[in-house]
């Protein structure tokens, strides 16, 4: 027997009017906790909880993406006038995506001396490692150069990323040092693509 029906997954859900409020507030960039407070006040019979809010927001994002998945990410990059490179396999499945803001390219070309690179230890919903490249100015300020979704962390993947970075910096400049962890595939590729740069691990 169900004692508290509002906790049962088949019974507990937001009404259509409550969902509309969640969507409107999400489009207005209201924080989930504030949306939750509004829904709890206006629709107490729905017995809302924060999971309902997150699920409704996720449904809205899915609808807005028109099922594009990772392609939606690239679509947004184009809309925001970001620079990007992508590589797909023979079946048009995305393998790598390197994305950066045009202003960051200018900063990188001005201060290419110290570059830090690392990959997240967890993959995202697409199973692709997220690789970040960060630069350092002479005043010790960090700036995000760009980020990459990679199919895997093998030498070939790192080679593709570093060759794009080489094109960004230009062949007339050489970074002074790269800061990395002890990722063997990355270290080997750094020596190959940037032979004149020291790597600190």
Residues 90-105: tens digit of each pLDDT: 777 778 888 888 888 8
Is 138 a residue whose pLDDT tops 50? yes
Q: What is the pLDDT of residue 71?
A: 66
Q: What is the pLDDT of residue 114?
A: 92
- pTM, two decimals, is 0.62
Q: What is the pLDDT of residue 107?
A: 92
Q: What is the pLDDT of residue 142?
A: 93
Q: Who wins on pLDDT, 74 or 35?
A: 35
Residues 7-29: tens digit of each pLDDT: 444 445 788 898 899 888 988 88
Provide DSSP, the chain. --SSGGGSTTT----HHHHHHHHHHHHTT--HHHHHHHHHHH-GGG---HHHHHHHHHHHHHHHHTT-THHHHHHHHHHTT-EEEEEE-TT--EEEEEEE-HHHHHHHHH--SEEEEEE-SS--TTS--EEEEEEE-TTS-EEEEEEEEES-SSHHHHHHHHHHHHHHH-TT---SEEE--S-HHHHHHHHHH-TTSEEE-
Residues 165-188: tens digit of each pLDDT: 999 898 888 888 998 887 888 888
Q: What is the pLDDT of residue 136?
A: 92
Share of the chain above pLDDT 90, in %: 18
**Mean of per-residue pLDDT scores for the chain:** 82
């Amino acid at each position: 027997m169900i004692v508290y029906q509002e906790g049962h997954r088949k019974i507990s859900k937001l009404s259509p009017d409550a969902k509309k409020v969640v969507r409107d507030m999400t489009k207005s960039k209201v924080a989930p906790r504030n949306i939750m407070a509004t829904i709890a006040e206006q629709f107490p019979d729905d017995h809302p909880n924060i999971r309902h809010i997150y699920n409704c927001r996720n449904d809205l994002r899915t609808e807005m993406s028109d099922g594009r998945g990772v392609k939606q990410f690239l679509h947004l990059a184009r809309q925001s006038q970001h620079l990007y490179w992508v590589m797909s396999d023979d079946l048009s499945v995305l393998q790598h995506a390197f994305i950066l803001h045009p202003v960051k390219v200018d900063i990188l070309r001005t201060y290419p001396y110290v570059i830090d690179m690392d990959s997240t230890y967890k993959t995202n919903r697409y199973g692709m490692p997220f690789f970040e490249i960060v630069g350092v100015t002479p005043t010790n300020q960090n700036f995000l150069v760009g980020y990459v979704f990679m199919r895997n962390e093998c030498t070939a993947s790192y080679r593709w990323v570093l060759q794009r970075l080489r094109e960004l910096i230009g062949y007339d400049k050489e970074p002074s040092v790269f800061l990395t962890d002890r990722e063997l595939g990355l270290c080997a590729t750094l020596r190959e693509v940037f032979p004149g740069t020291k790597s600190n691990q």
